[in-house]
Amino acid sequence: MPSIDMPLEKMREYVPSLYREADFDEYWRSTQAEAVRQPLNAELIPYQLGARGIQCYAVRFDGFGGGRIAGWYLRADTAGKLPGICFYHGYSGRGHRPLDMLPYAQQGIACLSMDCRGQNGQSQDAASYAEGAVAGWMTLGIRDPKNYYYRFAYADAIRALELLARREEVDEDRIAITGGSQGGALTLAAAALSDRPILALPDIPFLCDFRRAIQITPAGPYPEIPQFLKAFPDLVDTAIRTLSYCDNLNLAPWIKCRTVISNCLWDDVCPPSTIFAVYNHLACPKQIEVYPFHKHEVPYEHYELKFRLLTETLLGGGGAGGTTKAGA
């Protein structure tokens, strides 16, 4: 279906105002500090994948504030320090599994994935939400910014990144992060809230420019919020205030590492203008790849670009620098 959104030339100029609350900095400063300080209590359980020269492990670590977060860890069976990639997944899905990460592990990159709490993986959501919510995760805890689901999910993403960077065999100065949709949102948030990554590759990112997204998006998770507010119209201002803390629009200026974003113009789940809103606020080295006729998906060609970017940045390989034909 054609795009529901504004013309491309308008999106390139679209710079909505930030709408941070007065305590926005302190909210994330204290959350980030707590996320890093809380013991990980990580457990790596050997798993027989059968890939030559690759060690594979099921991972468990403590989630932000409680519960256990699940994931997978792959590394080459070699000596010396390895660069690392942390993978985040899409809404209602589960983290990358071993074969998904194998091509990178075979290049000599340590790979970690994370199941988002309470979604379709093996991670627990131990947070307690005072009242009910629409089915899904968009409105869990939306009445209170400190108890909002995505505060916990963003903190879990930071903790996964810490687990990877603190591994004895990992070079903490060569870390990248990536993910699509919700995973793209977690990638942006982790890049904003941690100094660990040197490269962020968010694809068709979710949780961007909430104020516009909930007004125009017909499909996917964003409509959970209007559905909730139909039942509680007196909570519109409260909900927008809570969402403002986890809107990557407001976090974007904090991102310092190189960031390459994919954006599809027929996307009716994560509208392209909401992604441009974040991109246009980035002050870091940045690049956006625009795919005019794709929907909520990542084109094969973009996966090739990401592979080249990751190997060049983390391993020093050649040939990844430029944009693709579809690029910005």
Q: Any idea which residue has 């080459």 for tokens? A: 76
Distance CA 77, CA 105 (A): 10
Read off the tokens for 180.
Answer: 């699509």
Note the pLDDT of residue 4: 75
Catalytic residue among 3, 113, 181, 244: 181
- Asked whether the beta carbons of 272 and 264 are under 8 A apart, the reply is yes
Catalytic residue among 267, 268, 294, 302: 267
Q: In sequence order, what are the beta bridge partners of 244?
A: none
Read off the tokens for 98.
Answer: 């071993």
Distance CA 321, CA 6 (A): 30
DSSP H helix total and E strand total for the chain? 11, 9
Distance CA 86, CA 170 (A): 12
- Asked whether the beta carbons of 30 and 37 are under 8 A apart, the reply is no
The pTM for the full model equals 0.95
Residue by residue, DSSP assigns 122-164 as S-------SS---SSSTTTTTT-GGG-HHHHHHHHHHHHHHHH
Q: Any idea which residue has 């909210």 for tokens? A: 27
Whether 267 is a known active-site residue: answer yes
Q: Give the CA distances from residue 63 to residues 91, 132, 151, 290, in Å, rounded to whole numbers and listed in that order.
A: 18, 22, 12, 35
Note the pLDDT of residue 321: 35
Distance CA 238, CA 145 (A): 9
Distance CA 180, CA 261 (A): 10
- What residues of the chain score a pLDDT lower than 70? 1-2, 317-328
Note the pLDDT of residue 317: 56
Note the pLDDT tens digit of each residue in 180-218: 999 999 999 999 999 999 999 999 999 999 999 999 999
113 — phi, psi (to 5°)? -120, 165
Nearest to 83 by CA among 108, 58, 51, 112: 108
- What domains can be seen in the chain, in order of their start residue? 8-315 (3.40.50.1820)
Note the pLDDT tens digit of each residue in 56-105: 999 999 999 999 999 999 999 999 999 999 999 999 999 999 999 999 99
User: Tell me, what amino acid is at 42?
Assistant: A
- The continuous run of DSSP H or E covering 68 comes out as strand 68-76
Q: Is the dihedral of CA 192, 193, 199, 205 positive or negative?
A: negative
Whether 203 is a known active-site residue: answer no
Angle at 5 between CA 261 and CA 138, to 5 degrees: 70
Catalytic residue among 281, 294, 296, 302: 296
